Amino acid sequence: MSSLSNKVIIITGASSGIGEACALHLASHQCKLVLAARSIDKLKAVAQACKAKGAEVITVSCDVAKEEDCKQLVEESIRAFGTIHVLLNNAGISMRAVFEQTDLQVIRQVMDINFWGTVYCTKYALPYILKEKGSVVGVSSIAGYKGLPGRTGYSASKFAMQGFLEALRTENMKKGLHVLIACPGYTASNIRNTALNNVGKSQSETPLDESKLMQPEEVAAYIIQAVIKRKRTLILTTQGKLAVWLNKFFPAFTDRMVYKTISKEPDSPFK
C-alpha cells in the first residue's frame, strides 16, 4: 500500500458495496479520500469510519448521471487536496427485464449512470491524473465481456465503459496513464436489490444467495492491489473467468450456458 499512501483518490458510489469497501481499505493507509454518492447520509457514515482509521476525507453529494455534478466533484477534490492521483469509477446500477418488455427510459437511465457517469468523471479528472501519471479505474462486470439475457441495458453500459476505457488507455499510452478495467463477477452488494425492472422501479430483492457470493471487502483488496501493480484488467471469481474464457473460444456454447444459468434464477424474466 505504500505506493498509494498520501495519494488523493476519488471513489464514486462510495456509500455501499465495493465503493464503501475500497474506502475503508484505503483509509488505513493515510490516503486522502474523496467519497461521492447520491445518498449523503450513508456517505457521511462511511466517511466517519474512514476518519476513525486515520484518513483525510471529504464527502461530495454526486449523481454521476449529471455532468455538472461530476464537474463539481472534481472541483471540490482540487479545492480540498490540490490534485488527483486515482479516480475509481464505481457508481453503477443494474436492470433485470426482457428487452422486448422494457421501457427505453430504463436503458437510458442505466447508460447515464454506468457509462456516462464514467465519461463525465473521467473527463474532468483526467488533466490532473495525467499530471500525476495516475490511474483511472472502471468497475465493470463480466457483463462487459458477455452479454447477459435479462440485462441488455446493463451489458450494453458495461461494454461501452470498457470500450471507452480501452481507447483512453491507448490514446495516453505515452503519457504514463494507467487504466484498469476491473470485472468482479457476482459480488454481495445492494446492486441487485436496486436493479431496475422493465418500468424503471427497483426490484427490491435479489435473485441470488448473497451470502455465497464474493464479499465486497475481498473485491476491494483485489482492486487496490491491481491499482498498485498497474494492471490492465482484473477478472474475479472462477465463474467469471470461465465465462470470459469460454466466450472467447466457444461463444455459441457460452450463450446456451448463460441462458440456462440465468433462466433458473428465482422469478427469472424469461424461461
The DSSP H or E segment spanning 197 is: none
- Bridge partner residues of 160 (DSSP): none
120 catalytic per annotation? no
Which of 22, 128, 26, 25 is closest to 71 using CA atoms? 128
Give CA–CA dist 40/45, Å, rounded: 9
User: Of these residues, 120, 128, 145, 154, which one is catalytic?
Assistant: 154
Which cell numbers hold the place of 162? 470498457
Residue 221's closest CA among 3, 18, 37, 13? Answer: 18
For 59-79, b/e burial (b = at least 16 CB within 10 A) is bbebbbbbbebbbbbbebbbe
61: which DSSP letter? E
Residues 258 and 267: their CA atoms lie apart, in Å, by 16
Instruction: Cite the active site residues.
Output: 154
